Amino acid sequence: MNKTRIASAAFAAIVVLALLTCFCACTQAQELPDWAFDSLYAADASRAEGSDVRVMSVNMLVHMESWGGEPVEPRAQLAEKFFEHYAPDVVALQELCGDWYKCLEGRLDGYEYVHDGKTKTNMIYNSDKLTLVDGGYFEYDKRDSSGCRAVAWGVFLTEDGQKFAVTSMHFDLGTDEKKVEYRTSQIAQLAEQVRLLAQKHGCPVIAAGDYNVLEGEDYGDGSNYDDLVAAIGGADVRYSAESVICDEEFVAEHSDNLWDHMILLGQAQPLEYRIVTEPFFRYGEELAMTDHYPVFCDFAL
């Protein structure tokens, strides 16, 4: 082989190696030792007695500097361990940027997305335990340009034939006139979709996600927390569950970050509702998967 061919081969090898390095970076970069998850492993992950499904909602924090988003790679292992520990059946996800899709690939054994689009609003479900009967995605008619303002939904069957539906959603944030108009419209569209699912499939619907409204705050008529609960016609699971598990003192102190809600329409019993505040969900500390506190609930269908 002459020098030109040797040089060409060497260059090709370097290119291939670089591509492989980039491809594998998300699964190998900055892997944390097991002790980093001691606080997570110490948390009780047992299910409520009599529960049929566990539904979770997590805003993953998109990697956008203007939104305070940190690089995804160091956070991917946190997500893997978190989902592995609590083993939810369905997870409503928001702010899934392209890096999240790449870095979660191969990490979430048994889970599938409810729709194939690489969109910022999606859901994963445990395909070993649930069958996806129906599912889809749409963006709100009125929305900002972030790509986040949308609804993903899925209808599922348990192994013993019980049916339920979940939506994942993300509203606009803000109090200016345009944001109030957008969010009011988004509330109406979400409520319509929730009622449609309940009527079409004759099953309970759990509307989970980042509502971008806090309880008791006034963001503008038609776009507040009470407005969305009334529009859906259901009940906030946090207040209808038989028990709520959280670090009450921490949650009270950080009530200005409780943007995530679960509203149930239809016949199901919320048993245990949890607000997750393990240290690596405390944004600004050394380990932080996201800037939200995930919520989940065990339901009897």
Domains (range + CATH), the chain: 31-300 (3.60.10.10)
Sequence-ordered strand ranges (E) for 9-89: 53-59
| Residue-averaged pLDDT of the chain | 87
- pLDDT score of 32: 80
Angle at 148 between CA 289 and CA 277, to 5 degrees: 25
Grade residue 285 by pLDDT with cuts at 50, 70 and 90.
low
pTM: 0.88
Between 285 and 89, where is the model more confident?
89
Mean pLDDT confidence for 80-87:
95
**Dihedral angle computed from the Cα positions of residues 40, 46, 89 and 57, in that order, rounded to the nearest 10 degrees:** -50
CB 57 within 8 A of CB 294: yes
**How large is the average pLDDT for residues 135-141?**
97
CB 247 within 8 A of CB 258: no
Residue 167 has a pLDDT of 98
Q: Which residue has the higher pLDDT, 286 or 131?
A: 131
What pLDDT does 1 receive?
Answer: 46
Pull the structure tokens for residue 180: 């109030």
Q: What's the mean pLDDT in 82-100?
A: 95
Mean pLDDT across the stretch 190-214? Answer: 97
30 confidence band (pLDDT: 50, 70, 90): low
